[in-house]
A and B are shown apart, each in its own frame.
Chain A
Amino acid sequence: MPGLGTLYGRGGATTFLMDLVNSDLIIIQGSNFAENHPVGFRFVTEAKKRGATVVHIDPRFTRTSALADHYLPIRSGTDIAFTGGLINYVLQHEAYFKEYVETFTNASYLVDPAFRDTEELAGLFSGFQPDSGTYDPASWTYERDDVGRPKKDPTLQHPRCVINVMKRHFARYTPEMIESVCGTPPDAYRRLCELVATNGGRERTMVYCYAMGWAQHTVGVQNIRAAATLTTLMGSTGRPGGGIMALRGHASIQGSTDIATLYDLLPGYIKAPSLERGESTFEQWKAKQTMPTGWWANWPKYAVSQMKAWFGDAATAENGWCFDYLPKITGDHSHQPMFFTMKDGGIEGMLLWGQNPAVGGQNAALQRAAMGQLKWLVCQDLFETESAAFWKREGVDPTTIGTEVFFMPAASVAEKAGTFTNTQRLVQFHEKAVDPPDDAHSDLAFAYGLTKRLKALYRDSTNPLDRPILDITLDYESDDPHERAREEPDVEKIMREINGYTIADGVQLKSFTDLKDDGSTAAGAWVYTGYFPAPGENLTRRRTGDDWVSLEWAWAWPANRRNLYNRASADADGKPWSERKKYVWWDDEAKKWTGYDVPDFIATKPPSFRAADGARGMDAHDGTAPFMLQEYGVAELFGVQGIVDGPLPTHYEPRESPVRNALYPDVQVNPVLKQWLRRDNPYHEVADERYPFVLTTYRVTEHHLSGAMTRWSPWLAELQPELFCEISPELAVERNIRNREWVTITTARGEIEARALVTGRMKPFKLGPKRFVHQIGVPMHFGYQGEVTGDAANVLVPLVADPNVSIHEAKAFTCDVRPGRRGAAHEGPTWLPVPLDERTPLGRPERSGAVAPPPHETVAIDREIVDAATIMSASRQVHDQGERRP
């Protein structure tokens, strides 16, 4: 996630769950930690036992809030305002950890004079291109001296040094502003400001725990950046109990980003070659991707080793290591535009592995309609999911659908061997316990078997397009006759290839520092090099723990470092900032870094090391630069590289909102967000009276994602058997809704029905003396297949995305709700074919810039709503019977 990647250098949680017990302040926001990561939450309860304060900030009072010391309400989609207010507070009160910030961040660097902040341009940064709807980031850079080094002011007085740019940027994020935007009561907010201000510095650390509640927004990346900024200002990153605990949304999605299933990344975070960046040869690709300074100076070693791993002897220096075999990026190939292209008839076939777009995809009905335009679809899954059965769903005549659907039964996790990479980058091997039933096979067996069969089919082909398949290395045949008979490959052979080995003698590599760019080494993913350093030494199998860092429990990337950037736990001289928060320090006798963790630093580089002028690679970083993958080794509070919607997080409203952007009335939403203006993807405009309420979607403990694995299990199905919609009692009175009765929720994309769960845990947001916004919430787990069924919440959600990573916005949009059941035709206009003039080439998103301001201020109710006191007194009368005296 660039939220963390652009600030720190690596896109992943900076710390590990066990370390939360050392935290003094745990802020959980954009996450329902206790419900969705219940086992990880044990470390929060342990932290509480040791005296930590736990704060939960969320639109709903959830099971996480129940265990928190403080709960603060926040309107969905306003997290940057919220965090920005905390940043503003610590900056104004000088409560940030000065030495840490001066030494380890770019706070003292001077910003280019051409840069203009949103405060100067009424909501835009400098460099906005209205025609393309994108930013040219040229002015988001440093003022440099004659030799190209950034200028700095160590005294932090210069008006253009980063910290003062930040002060001006966040100056209007006051508690009153936060109240009018987020609906958070100012006194509670002020108490939180003080809590944050007193939990930084040498002796105390704070940690942010976030999940999809931050990621799934059109400002998702900036949500995360804001929190990382605050954590860095308080000096917590890289220290015990500090940093950013990114709680990933799937059991092994960290692994899916490491060994990439993203279209724009190759395994190990190597950017896929892009014609849009002019990378049409290996040399061009290498030139663009290799950084002169910092760790990415090693790029060629990782890329070449990867190509050798994939294509073996066929990859040579002469042919650019089979560069031509790789598909090149020519547009936006992410999920959303892909499905638009599919809907428009531009895609023939799809392989769907453990993914369920018919329920999990936004504008779910459009995704279902899109699949109906395929010629063929292969689904491999544990059960016949909604995607596998899209062609026979309610309201659809199967004779009108030409897609040929193949359903391949999948083995479940206990029925195959493999690794999980969990949210803290920990790679753990799991054994196979039993054979899968009947014809079920692992996904790996399917991919392996398919490749083998394609190779056989193409064996005599002379077509150059078939060469990649023929040249792929595929030495994974199992030595176990039972597995071989079942066509299951040997997982550890694949792991060996990912780990890497010297080609000449096949010796497995111990570290990515052993990788070469001359074709003598092969490694599928350099970030995992070292996890299988010798035959029989699969480190991911280890299970020796010590109740804290547990370096011998499995293996974490990179290089088994658990708490990243831990150089920052010691001061400029290499001494721990405090005894209480000791973690990694410089041992002057042994002349190396040591401590409780693997130092995330060059082990022998002393703190006193200063880079010579013109130095290259890692030699360009001082001994005080913990963020090795950043250009200058410092955390980039002002984001200079890699972020497309601004160097500083800024509050914008979600694409659909009932209120105007109070901070920047003329720039309602993220000006460079990705949207698609098509009749099958209609959006609500701001303060659309037809859809006055905010809707958020979320998950609950009892089910997992689209329910494809949980709604088929009776034990789980009985725990949450029906789709429900959480509604505040105040809204229930207004809309005449009774607890447990059916309600229909409507957006322009369609409607769904759910059972009303009227609960005091939902509360209208008070943005002002008589201004309220109602919010309701729906879990996204239900679909039309399974032991228990229900409507899919994603039918309501439009396709709109964050511009950095194309993640969808599912956490904040608008809707209407009314009592009663829905009609039969509930999938909205999403089935409509879209005329050519409404389509964009290759499904590209439209960035039409800032969305036009709304015709009126807000749809927030400006009369007194039925308030809590009235409901309380009524409830007292109703429940007068059977009162027990204490």
Chain B
Amino acid sequence: MITPDDVAASLGRNDGGFGREQSSYYDIPLLQKPHWGWEIEWYFFVGGIASGSAILAALSDVLGDPADASIVRLGRYAATLGSAVSGVLLIKDLGRPERFLNMMRIVKLKSPMSVGVYALTAFSTFSGLMLTRQAKADGLVPFDPTGWVPRLPLNLAWAASAALLGSYTGVLIGATAIPVWFSGSRHIPAIFVCSATSTACAFALAVLTLVPGTKSSAVRKLERLEIVAAALELALLRDYRKRSGKLGDALFAGRIGQTLRQTTERFGIIAPIGLNLPGALERGEHIGRAARVRTLVAAGLTLAGGLALRQCLLRAGKVSAADPRAYINHQELGRTSGS
């Protein structure tokens, strides 16, 4: 039996008035949602690891602790491979991939995407140069064309481009009209910096735990940095949730919110912190088998959490774009930063 409630509901959100104020247009989304899919989710992830690896490598190279040589080597290979994969993913995502070079028609600092294009270009170039240096050191190539460049400036430039690459994507999505994103415009770039750091550390830990010849001091440094970055990331996520109010629902509520809470926060941040803490506090030379297993597990969880973070963020953007009331009422629904 249909009741007047059913009829009223079935008239659509735009209930034909009947003396009623209408608050949206049939609940049809007002904004357009970005088309970005798995290519961009994985690009954020791989790019973050690549840039973090580069920073770790640059850092270790400059500070010159020979125990960290494996970090330097891994970083240089990972950064180069990562930048290549990033390039492929980005080009594949384009609606007209054959026109990817049009990205370099202009330099537009006002567009985070233009900034990112040049960050990636610079980063790939420097990564390639550092890779050549490493390859010479490893005896794979006879000649290193960068040999004449002093260590510090090259590493600084490389690290700067890496830092930008690993974080500009946060500015890119924060500076859009999508409520869940713009309400986090002061959080997401910082979260990406931290996540790039922690996932790079996790990646390095995973690889270096498995290959022989890694010094325990290097492992411990990575574990410590990972804990700091992850803890900061968690704090930033919590603050983002609080400040975004109802605008943050797309990310922090529902299935996406569940995934974020479990995969990223619990398993991707808190658990690895716990697993890494004993190792981080240790000072001895020896890393036992149990410790290795802990490290590997922690690394895997961190990486999974990092991928999940980016997937949740990007998918939340689509959900948020589809909610017209969030955008219509954004001034009341969240203490948003920015304009």
A, B from the same assembly: yes
Q: Taking beta carbons and an 8 Å cutoff, which residues of A are in contact with B?
A: 729, 732-733, 736-740, 758-761, 866, 868, 870-872, 874-879, 882-884, 886
* Chain B residue contacts of A871, Cβ below 8 A: 4, 7-8, 18
Q: Complex Cα distance A738/B23, Å? A: 22
Q: Is the CB of A884 within 8 A of B328?
A: yes
Knowing A866-B4, A878-B15, A882-B329, the reply to whether A758 touches B10 (Cβ < 8 A) is yes
B21 near A878 with CB under 8 A, answer no
Separation of A876 and B11 alpha carbons in the complex (Å): 12
**A736 and B4 within 8 A (CB):** no
Interface status of B95 (Cβ within 8 A of chain A): no
In contact, A736 and B2 (Cβ under 8 angstroms): yes
A871–B18 Cα distance when bound, in Å, is 8
Partner of A739, one of B12, B19, B21: B12
A-B contact pairs, 19 of them (CB 8 A): A729-B16, A738-B7, A739-B10, A739-B11, A739-B12, A758-B7, A758-B10, A760-B18, A761-B16, A870-B4, A871-B8, A872-B18, A875-B15, A878-B9, A879-B13, A879-B15, A879-B20, A882-B329, A883-B21
Given known pairs A733-B3, A866-B4, A878-B5, the reply for A872 and B11 (CB within 8 Å) is: no
CB-CB < 8 A to A883: which residues of B? 21, 23
B8, B9, B10, B21 interface centre (most CB from chain A within 10 Å): B8
Does B6 sit within 8 A of A, measured CB to CB?
yes
User: Are A875 and B328 neighbours in the complex by a CB distance under 8 Å?
Assistant: no
CB distance from A564 to the nearest CB of B (A): 43
Contacts A871-B7, A876-B20, A884-B21 aside, 11 further interface pairs with beta carbons under 8 A come to A738-B10, A739-B10, A740-B10, A871-B8, A876-B19, A879-B13, A882-B24, A883-B21, A883-B23, A884-B23, A886-B21
Chain B residue at minimum C-beta to C-beta distance from A733 = B7
B325 CB within 8 Å of chain A: yes
Q: Are B3 and A875 in contact (CB under 8 A)?
A: no
Contacts of A761 in B (CB 8 A): 16
Known: A733-B3, A866-B4, A874-B8. A760 touches B16 (CB 8 A): yes
Bound complex: CA A622 to CA B220 (Å): 118
Residue B153 is within 8 A (CB to CB) of chain A in the complex:
no
Within 8 Å CB of A868, what residues of B?
18
Q: A760-B18, A875-B20 are in contact. Are A738 and B12 (CB under 8 A)?
A: no
Contact, CB under 8 Å: B2 / A737:
yes
Q: Is B3's CB under 8 angstroms from A874's CB?
A: yes
Given the complex, which residues of A lie within 8 Å of B140, measured CB to CB? none
Partner of A872, one of B3, B19, B325, B329: B19
Given A737-B2, A759-B16, check contact A884 B329 (CB 8 Å): yes
On whether the beta carbons of A878 and B325 are closer than 8 Å, the reply is no
Q: Does B150 contact A (CB under 8 A)?
A: no
B8 to A882, Cβ gap below 8 A? no
Residue in B4, B13, B21 whose Cβ sees the most chain A Cβ within 10 Å: B4
Closest Cβ of chain A to B264, distance in Å, is 29
Contact A732 B2 (CB under 8 A): yes
Do A738 and B16 touch across chains, with their CB atoms under 8 A apart? no
The interface size of chain B toward A, counting residues with CB under 8 Å, comes to 25
B109 contacts chain A at the CB level, 8 A cutoff = no
Q: How far is the CA of A759 from the CA of B17 in the complex (A)?
A: 10
8 A-B pairs closest in CB distance: A875-B8, A874-B4, A760-B16, A739-B10, A872-B18, A738-B10, A736-B2, A882-B325
User: Is the CB–CB distance between B2 and A875 below 8 Å?
Assistant: no
Chain A residues, CB < 8 A from B2: 732-733, 736-738
Kindly state the separation between the CA atoms of A758 and B16 in the bound complex, as whole angstroms: 9
Chain A contacts for B18, CB-based, 8 A: 760, 868, 871-872, 875
| CB-defined contacts of A876 to chain B, threshold 8 Å | 19-20
CA distance A870 to B8 in the complex (A): 10
Cα distance, A866 to B7, chains bound together (Å): 11
Q: Does B149 contact A (CB under 8 A)?
A: no
> B7 contacts which chain A residues (CB < 8 A)?
729, 732-733, 738, 758, 871, 874
Residues of B within 8 A of A874 (CB): 3-5, 7-8
Nearest neighbor of B329 in chain A, beta-carbon distance: A884
Output the residue of B7, B9, B12 with the most chain A CB within 10 A. Answer: B7
B1 CB–A CB distance under 8 Å:
yes
Q: Which residue of B lies closest to A737 (CB)?
A: B2
In the docked arrangement, what's the CA distance between A876 and B16, Å? 11
List, in ascending order, chain B residues with CB within 8 A of A732's CB: 2, 7, 10
List the B residue with the shortest CB-CB distance to A876: B20
Convert B9-50 into 0s and 1s, putting 1 for each residue whose CB lies closer than 8 angstroms to a CB of A.
111110111111101100000000000000000000000000
When distances are taken between beta carbons in the complex, the residues of chain A under 8 Å from B325 are 882
Which residues of chain B from 166 to 184 have a CB within 8 Å of any chain A CB?
A: none
Q: Are A872 and B20 in contact (CB under 8 A)?
A: yes
Contacts of A875 in B (CB 8 A): 4, 8, 11, 15, 18, 20
Chain A residues, CB < 8 A from B13: 879
Shortest CB distance B250–A (Å): 15
Bound-state CA distance A736–B7 (Å) is: 9
Contact with A along B232-261 (1 / 0, CB 8 A): 000000000000000000000000000000
Query: Shortest beta-carbon distance, B320 to chain A, in Å?
Result: 15
* Bound-state Cα–Cα, A872 to B18, Å: 5
Bound Cα distance A742, B212 (Å):
70
- How many Å lie between the Cα of A840 and that of B21 in the bound state? 60
Inter-chain CA distance A875–B7, complex, in Å, is: 8
A180 to B19, CA, bound (A): 27
Q: How far is the CB of B326 from chain A (nearest CB, A)?
A: 10
Residue numbers in A under 8 Å from B329 (CB-CB): 882, 884
Contact residues in B for A758 (Cβ distance below 8 Å): 7, 10-11
Which B-chain residue is minimally distant from A885 (CB atoms)?
B332
Chain A residues near B21 (CB-CB < 8 A): 883-884, 886
Q: In the complex, what residue of chain A is closest to B18 when comparing beta carbons? A: A872
Q: Are B17 and A760 in contact (CB under 8 A)?
A: yes
Chain A residues with CB below 8 A from B17, complex form: 760
A416 to B19, CA, bound (A): 53
A865 CA to B18 CA, complexed, in Å: 17
Chain A, residue nearest B328 (CB) = A884
How far apart are the CA atoms of A761 and B303 in the complex, in Å?
57
Complex Cα distance A886/B329, Å? 12
Give A266 to B118 CA distance when docked, in angstroms: 80
Q: How far is the CA of A759 from the CA of B11 in the complex (A)?
A: 7
The residues of B that contact A739 with a CB separation of less than 8 Å are: 10-12
Question: Closest CB-CB distance, B123 to chain A, in whole Å?
Answer: 44
Query: Nearest-CB distance from A873 to chain B (Å)?
Result: 8
B3 contacts which chain A residues (CB < 8 A)? 733, 874
Residue in B closest to A759 when the chains form the complex, CB atoms: B16
Which of A739, A760, A761, A882 is the most central at the interface, judged by chain B CB atoms within 10 Å of its CB?
A882
Residue among A729, A870, A871, A879 with max Cβ neighbours from chain B (10 Å): A879
Chain A residues with Cβ below 8 Å from B1 are: 736
The answer to whether A879 touches B10 (Cβ under 8 A) is no
Bound Cα distance A866, B2 (Å): 11
Which B residues are CB-close (under 8 A) to A733? 2-4, 6-7
Bound complex: CA of A733 vs CA of B5, how far in Å?
Answer: 9
How close is A208's CB to chain B, nearest CB, in angstroms? 30
Contacts of B15 in A (CB 8 A): 875, 878-879
**Chain A positions within 8 Å of B23 at CB level:** 879, 882-884
Nearest A residue to B13, CB-CB = A879
* Shortest CB distance A616–B (Å): 64
Closest Cβ of chain A: how far from B179's Cβ, in Å?
14
Closest Cβ of chain A to B77, distance in Å, is 53
Closest chain B residue, CB of each to CB of A760: B16
A629 to chain B, nearest CB (A): 49
A719 to chain B, nearest CB (A): 17
Question: What separation, in Å, do the CA atoms of A886 and B21 have in the docked complex?
Answer: 10
CB distance from A724 to the nearest CB of B (A): 14
- A874 to B11 Cα, complex, angstroms: 12
Nearest-neighbor residue (CB-CB) of B12 within chain A: A739
Looking at the assembled complex, report how far the CB atom of B257 sits from the nearest CB atom of chain A, in whole angstroms: 19
Contacts of A884 in B (CB 8 A): 21, 23, 328-329
For residue A497, give the distance in angstroms from its CB to the closest CB of chain B.
Answer: 57
Q: Which residues of A contact B12 (CB under 8 A)?
A: 739
With both beta carbons as reference points, the residue of chain B lying nearest to A871 in the complex is identified as B4
